[in-house]
Amino acid sequence: MISENKEVINENPKLKINNTNNRKNLIIFFLLSFALMTITVFIQIGVRILTDNYFIDIFFAILAITTSTISAIIISGLTDGLQGIKNLFSGFKIWKVNFLWYFAGSILIIAPLIFALFYLLFGGIAPGPAPSYTFAIFLLDLFIALISGPLNEEAGWRGYALPRLQSRFSALTSSIILGILWGFWHL
């Protein structure tokens, strides 16, 4: 929770990470997110070298995508306990726009996939994946891309980092800072 003077409240003095130092917690969040991502990607590369198991590879890909949210959960839990973790995910309950906007957003994502599917169904040749890329794997990839990816990242970047940046900077400056760091995280 953020108070009027923009300091995070509910300090727990028994823990090294505390809420009175919002800047420090934010830096720890970014460092932890990058460290967990790097470790997970190296493990994923090792697994790829040792096995050719697509599903294990996908597991580590999902885990890598989730590292920002894992970092946010860790820091929120250390600073605010269970209530901090609940607050972190409370943003998923906010539905302030008309349902048509969700429909329009979904169409923008799904329409290119539908066009590509019809192209392939009517004899088009897929320029990309190998013949071993089955429809079941396509459906798994689609699920991961549309559901798992964005949902796994949002609580970390927009639920944890953005509000804390906005407690110090304008919305534009906060978004630029977050966008740059988020972009590097995706490299």
CA within 13 Å, CB half, 84: 22
Q: For residue 2, what is the DSSP state?
A: B
Per residue in 106-142, pLDDT (tens digit) is 787 788 878 877 777 777 776 666 667 777 777 777 7
CA-closest candidate to residue 146, choices 100, 107, 94: 107
The answer to whether residue 104 is domain-embedded is: no
The answer to whether residue 132 is domain-embedded is: no
Residue 100 has pLDDT above 70, yes or no: yes
Average pLDDT over residues 53-75: 89
Contact 29, 71 (CB under 8 A): yes
Average pLDDT over residues 47-56: 84
- For residues 150 and 37, the model is more confident at 37
pTM, 2 dp: 0.69
The answer to whether residue 108 is domain-embedded is: no
Per residue in 141-181, pLDDT (tens digit) is 777 777 776 778 888 998 899 999 998 899 999 999 999 99
The answer to whether residue 135 is domain-embedded is: no
Q: Dump the DSSP string for 87-103.
A: HHHGGGG---S-HHHHH
- State the Cα–Cα distance between residues 123 and 82, nearest whole angstrom: 54
Containing domain of residue 81, as a range?
A: 22-96+150-186
Q: How many domains does the chain have?
A: 1
User: In this structure, what token pair is assigned to residue 117?
Assistant: 């599917």
The answer to whether residue 8 is domain-embedded is: no
Query: What average pLDDT is seen over the chain?
Result: 80
Average pLDDT over residues 88-111: 77
Q: For residue 130, what is the DSSP state?
A: -
